[in-house]
Amino acid sequence: MTKINEILKILENDARTTPQKIATMTGKPTAEVSKAIKKAEKDGTILKYKTIVNWEKAGNEQVSALIEVRVAPQRDVGFDSLAERIYRFPEARSLYLLSGTYDLLVLVTGKTMHEVAGFVTKKLALIEGVQGTTTHFLLKRYKEDGEILAGGEETKRQPVIL
Amino acid sequence: MPRKKPDITSKRINRIAPSGIRRFFDLVASMEGVISLGVGEPDFATPWHIREAAIYSLEKGYTMYTSNLGMPELRRELSRHLKESYKLDYDPDTELLITVGVSEGVDLATRAILDPGDEVIMADPSYVSYSSCVSLAGGKAVMVPTSQKNNFELGADDIEKKITDKTKAILIGYPANPTGAVMSRDKLERIAAVAHRRGLIIISDEIYSSLVYGVEHTCAASLPHMKDSTILLGGFSKAYAMTGWRIGYAAGSKEVIAAMFKIHQYTIMCAPTMGQVAAIEALKSGDDSVAEMVADYNRRRLFMVKGLNKIGLPCFEPKGAFYAFPSIKTTGLSSEEFAEKLLMEEKVAVIPGSAFGECGEGYIRCCYATSLADIEEALKRMGRFVKRCGG
């Protein structure tokens, strides 16, 4: 693994790991690690440091939906300008262009089902070039970004083993 | 007149000293909130694809005995694996045996080759079962001191000094439990040369072969002339985080595998079927999982070793397995006293080095196969403790 990838891997797993600690774990000088992180932040390799929240547990339930969008690509700009019109809405948490039976997949999050439905019918579906949408409301989150929400495995090790 | 009542247990068993460390183990088990650096196994659960393969095998009804030697497919995969890793050719039908972990492998190997009084040379300190298995097999363990000064590597000259006309084998285990030492190719070649010249068998426990950091593991059997005179023992427990599945293997000459097989078929019958299926999956597609775990161990290794040196417990750089073996001599405590006081005062469990032989005195074994957060907290507590000891 290259040096920066090793650093990124550690940060992706725990964004709060200090440069000192990363330096120890990789056997590199702290200054070198700090410099590499700064550079990655600057050139957009590191986009943002976030927290994965289990909102359900926090008593702050959200409604999410995955929406399939079929669009007519436009001359010269293809899917990109249409995609931009969609991802500019803060309601769109993620947006992907896919191969297959539809074109774009939008993850939409709102406080209520009504709010999400409102976004689809009043905004998304009316964008010029959008030919149709299929909305799938999310019923249960099992795993988010590599983290299992239902609680991980317990350690079942004996306290001491030779 | 009634016959004198014989001892219930055999003289052979009575000769084996009860494990002195047992009392310490019980003490650890009875305490709450202990951070344990005393565990000799990965903290990862077995990678899911391996577990899933085993679950599927149960659904399909793989619940019966396998061939005594082990499943043919597993032996074929193993043969391929050894060829790819070390360019070694083992015939899956006659030169490989699937065992219940390397633990069984050590037992079979010693019983298969030793006659009463035969001597086996090994490093002090070394893994606890080596000398006991030799002695259970009627042999005599001959210890060669190793030290931090030589990175706990067994030296060919030191071995040679211990050879008598009773010497039958040299038992090595690198990467090593408890020291984390690896054996350089160069040093291993010299040991192999001695073994070759003096007609000795090498029993090589290579259970930690995949867990090396920045160095390459050399397989003893892969050295020139060594394949037929080496009993290579390996397994899945450490690399694939499969300790509970109990699957290992022995690779050796037709003659020695046949001898080990005789014991295995009557005492074990076959290694657990479910575990063998899991091992096939591990060999077929476990490389990525191993690489990821090794990268993770390496980060914690560097963290642990630096931390130990910082708190005043000098530690040589262990390049294999998942143990650090720092010296505690500056504290003036024996390793058992150190472990017990540390447990009582700071609730951190480490293994006294003396559990692994006389030369382990003055050291403790700290396993870094535990979460980084726990290692950090343990180091903090140990630092406080060492300071109080005036170290």
Which residue spans of chain A are classified as CATH 1.10.10? 3-42
Name the pLDDT band for A87 (thresholds 50, 70, 90): very high
CA-nearest residue to A152 within chain B is B45
Q: What is the CATH number of the domain that holds B332?
A: 3.90.1150.10
pLDDT at B33 over 80: yes
Tell how strand A130-137 and strand B119-124 pair up.
unpaired
Is the CB of B34 less than 8 angstroms away from the CB of A9? no
Look at B303 and A161 and tell me if their CB atoms are within 8 Å: no
Domain boundary among B230, B261, B286: B286
Same structural domain for residues B231 and B299?
Answer: no
Which three-class secondary structure state does DSSP give residue B273? helix
Residues B62 and B160 in one domain: yes
Structural domain ending residue among the three candidates B286, B318, B340 = B286
What pLDDT is attached to residue B38? 94
* pLDDT value of position A155: 67
Question: Is A160–B24 a contact, with Cβ atoms under 8 angstroms apart?
Answer: yes
Query: Looking at the structure, do residues B279 and B304 belong to the same domain, yes or no?
Result: no
Q: What is the pLDDT of residue A1?
A: 64
Residues 24-63 of A with CB under 8 A from B: 24-27
Mean pLDDT of A67-87: 90
Q: Please name the fold of domain A3-42.
A: Arc Repressor Mutant, subunit A (1.10.10)
CA distance A103 to B36: 52
A72: helix, strand or coil: coil
- The percentage of residues in chain B with a pLDDT greater than 90, rounded to a whole number, is 93
**Is B213 a residue whose pLDDT tops 70?**
yes
Task: Verify that B331 and B354 share a domain, yes or no.
Answer: yes
Number of structural domains (chain B) is: 2
Mean per-residue pLDDT, B292-300? 96
Distance linking the first and last C-alpha atoms of chain A: 32
The rounded mean pLDDT for chain B is 95
**Per-residue confidence at B390, pLDDT binned at 50, 70, 90?**
confident
Q: How confident is the model at residue B56 (pLDDT cuts 50, 70, 90)?
A: very high
CB B129 within 8 A of CB B103: yes
Residue A75 has pLDDT above 90, yes or no: no
Which residues of chain A have a CB within 8 Å of the CB of B377?
none
Q: Where are the alpha helices (DSSP H) in chain A?
A: 3-13, 19-26, 30-42, 80-87, 113-118
Residue B3 lies in a domain: no
What pLDDT, on a 0 to 100 scale, did the predictor assign at position A61?
84
Nearest residue on chain A to B48, judged by CA atoms? A153
pLDDT at B391: 58
pLDDT digits (tens, 9 = 90+) for B64-98: 999 999 999 999 999 999 999 999 999 999 999 99
Cα(B171)–Cα(B151) distance, integer angstroms: 18
For residue B376, give the chain A residue with the closest CA: A21
**Residue B295 shares a structural domain with residue B175:** no
Write the pLDDT tens digit of every residue in B97-120.
Answer: 999 999 999 999 999 999 999 999
Burial call B76-103: b when 16+ CB within 10 Å, e when fewer: ebbbebbeeebebebebeebbbbbbbbb
Least confident residue range of B12-26, B27-41, B123-137: B12-26
Residue B1 has a pLDDT of 67
Residue span(s) of chain A under CATH 3.30.70.920 come to 63-138
Q: What is the pLDDT of residue A158?
A: 85
- Residue A147, pLDDT score: 84
Greater model confidence, A160 or A117? A117
> Based on C-alpha coordinates, what's the Rg of chain B?
21
Please indicate, yes or no, whether residues B232 and B316 belong to a single structural domain of this protein. no
* CATH architecture group of domain A63-138: 2-Layer Sandwich (3.30)
Which token pair is B44? 């990862």
Residue B6 lies in a domain: no
Taking alpha carbons only, the member of B57, B96, B79, B98 closest to residue B278 is: B57
Which residues span the domain enclosing B27? 11-46+288-388
Rounded to whole angstroms, what are the CA distances from A73 to A80, A121, A124, A130, B198? Answer: 8, 20, 15, 9, 79
Residues of A whose CB is below 8 A from B351:
160, 162
Tell me if ipTM is over 0.95.
no
- Pick the residue from chain A with its C-alpha nearest to B24: A160
Say yes or no to pLDDT of A2 above 80. Answer: no
Domain co-membership, B41 together with B53: no
Same domain, B246 and B233: yes
B286, B321, B351 - which closes a domain: B286
Whether the pLDDT of residue B3 is over 80: the answer is no
Q: Kindly state whether residues B31 and B61 are assigned to the same domain.
A: no
Residue B353 has pLDDT above 80, yes or no: yes
Whether pLDDT at A60 is above 90: no
CATH code (residue B72): 3.40.640.10
Whether B233 is in a domain gets the answer yes
Check residue A152 and give its pLDDT. 67
Name which of A8, A140, A138, A145 is nearest A64 in CA terms: A138
**Number of cross-chain residue pairs from A and B with Cβ atoms under 8 Å apart:** 54
Best of B238, B292, B299, B305 to substitute, by most chain A Cβ atoms within 10 angstroms, is B299
**What residues pair up with B232 in beta bridges, in sequence order?**
B204, B251
